[in-house]
Amino acid sequence: MRAVLPTGALDDATKTLGDISDQFYAGFLAWVLIAVGLYFTIRSRAVQFRLFPEMIRTVFGSRGNAEGGISSFQAFTIGLASRVGTGNIVGVAIAITLGGPGAIFWMWVVALVGMATGFIESTLAQMFKVPAADGSFRGGPAYYITRGLGSRTWGGVFAVVITFVFGFAYEATQANTIAGAVNGVLENHGQEVEPWVIGAVLVALTAPIVFKGIKRVARVAEWMAPIMALIYALLAIVILVLHVDAIPGAFKAIFEGAFGLNATFAGISGGFYAAAINGIKRGLFSNEAGEGSVPNAAATATTSHPVNQGFIQSMGVFVDTIIVCTATALIVMLSGLYDSAANLAGPEATAAADAAKKTLTSDSVAYVLGEWSQYLMALIIFVFAYSSLLGNYTYAEINVDFLRGSRSNHTWLRLMILVATYVGAVASLDFVWNLSDIAMGAMAVINIVAITLLGKWAFGALRDWEAQNRELREGRREEIRFVGKGNPYLPGDLPGDVWAPRGAAAAVAEAPVAQG
């Protein structure tokens, strides 16, 4: 049987933290993130729609040599590895269970406006990054808060919070999900693996990668993240083809449910409010736009212009929610297994959410394709969670470098990752999960304030890129290359010399990437 943490006082603390988290996200943070996304959409003249083709070209044209650093595509896959995780399988199932099909519409809304936020924060991460000892770069909110806003204190606060969240709490929850997925399949066949065995295997798989540092994580994520997303998308396509006649009805249910027009989901836990809150909360958790996590990966890339990485990470929000989360939603909806849980309240709703967290998506796939597909889903969940575990380590290491210097010893952090991995596999982690949700919310608030104040730098970088792109198309320029000093589109000179004419970015920049 699975080992669990002590009950009693811890149970009360877990419930209290859960209530705080729900109120904080639903009553404040969700709406702030949407408002910020709309603001950035307007100020950037809808960059996520206007320059969407450029985003696609940049992603597929960024696999070049980074001269010893990390390529833009590798940085994209690190961010994708962390984004595309259990939230895309578990989170969507819970959203539909508690909010009805309409929750998916609000996940789409969050993603589409969040693409602008993702563009801004990742562009800023590139602009204020610093060179690292291993030939790559380091950056993210802690760095642009310190270098852009001149506040080392708040940069340090952010770094401490994100190190806890991604260095321990989220690592543990991903390992917990893997253990649950494996035993969920085995229990259906009257078998079970001891949690400590799963924990030991995960530690053995994780240690060789994290002890090689960010570059090794980047090389693994470069193939693992795209493959896992592709396999899952293909699985959804197969299910859609087998049930093509039901697709219009599924989309109709999504749009009707989004505005409370479907009477089936207009009860206590359904209707407009439940659809919006559950869709927004789960969408934000999944795509991470504005939370300040993905910019840590974006900053590591070697690229010729900060906007390139802004394009790439904005596309990451699209892939995560519009593609992967939609695939999950259609799988669940076409099975019809969620109907009995979508209109409950109180303890029954909580129990339904717990059931969705464990098996709803896997059960939906098995219902459509047969019992054999449970094994495939267990493998997909494993890869999703494992790649997130690796991507999360990257964020922690970058912020440890901020706190202790780029040449700091990461042995203690890597050991903490392994401990979190083992603990996650053998323990019930509701307490840590709720605590980390609150910490992530605090992290997001700090980041939102920072990127709003620093947004003018990203807007200036975008104008610079657009001007150079016009010259490139007209034949008056051979490549797009960003310079951070004396740039008329910026509000001032960037600190340091990474983006100086002969700075670190120019010295090791990869070949021109999808410049036109």
Question: What's the CATH code of the domain at 210?
Answer: 1.20.1740
How much is the pLDDT for 388? 73
Residue 93 has pLDDT above 80, yes or no: no
Q: Stretch 250-260: mean pLDDT, rounded?
A: 81
Residue 133 resides in a domain: yes
How much is the pLDDT for 217? 62
How much is the pLDDT for 311? 93
- Check: CB of residue 31 under 8 Å from CB of residue 110: no
Residue 426 resides in a domain: yes
Beta bridge partners of 131: 137
Residue 483 resides in a domain: no
Residue 109's nearest CA partner among 277, 250, 344, 249 is: 277
Give the integer Cα–Cα distance in Å for 182 and 375: 9
Mean pLDDT across the chain: 77
Residue 140 resides in a domain: yes
Distance of CA 78 to the CA centre of its chain: 10
Q: Which of 83-87, 178-182, 363-367, 433-437 shows the lowest mean pLDDT across its residues?
A: 83-87
pLDDT: which is higher, 109 or 270: 109
The dihedral over CA atoms of 120, 124, 125, 127, expressed in degrees to the nearest 10, equals 140
Counted domains in the chain: 1
Give the integer Cα–Cα distance in Å for 26 and 13: 20
**Distances from the Cα of 305 to the Cα of 47, 66, 78, 332, 353, angstroms:** 16, 13, 19, 41, 44
Residue 62's nearest CA partner among 508, 505, 480, 510 is: 510
Confidence band (pLDDT; 50, 70, 90) for 47?
very high
How much is the pLDDT for 460? 96
Residue 147 has pLDDT above 90, yes or no: yes
Confidence band (pLDDT; 50, 70, 90) for 342?
very low
Residue 428 resides in a domain: yes
pLDDT: which is higher, 350 or 363: 363
Residue 345 resides in a domain: yes
Q: What percentage of the chain reaches a pLDDT higher than 70?
A: 73
Residue 510 resides in a domain: no
Residue 313's nearest CA partner among 490, 45, 508, 58 is: 58
Residue 380 has pLDDT above 70, yes or no: yes
How much is the pLDDT for 267? 44
Q: Which of 4-18, 40-54, 130-144 shows the lowest mean pLDDT across its residues?
A: 4-18
pTM of the model: 0.80
Distance of CA 294 to the CA centre of its chain: 7
How much is the pLDDT for 153? 93
How much is the pLDDT for 224? 66
Confidence band (pLDDT; 50, 70, 90) for 51?
very high
Residue 102 resides in a domain: yes
Give the integer Cα–Cα distance in Å for 386 and 382: 6
Query: Domain range spanning residue 430?
Result: 9-451
Q: Stretch 289-299: mean pLDDT, rounded?
A: 86
Residue 2's nearest CA partner among 191, 224, 192, 277 is: 192
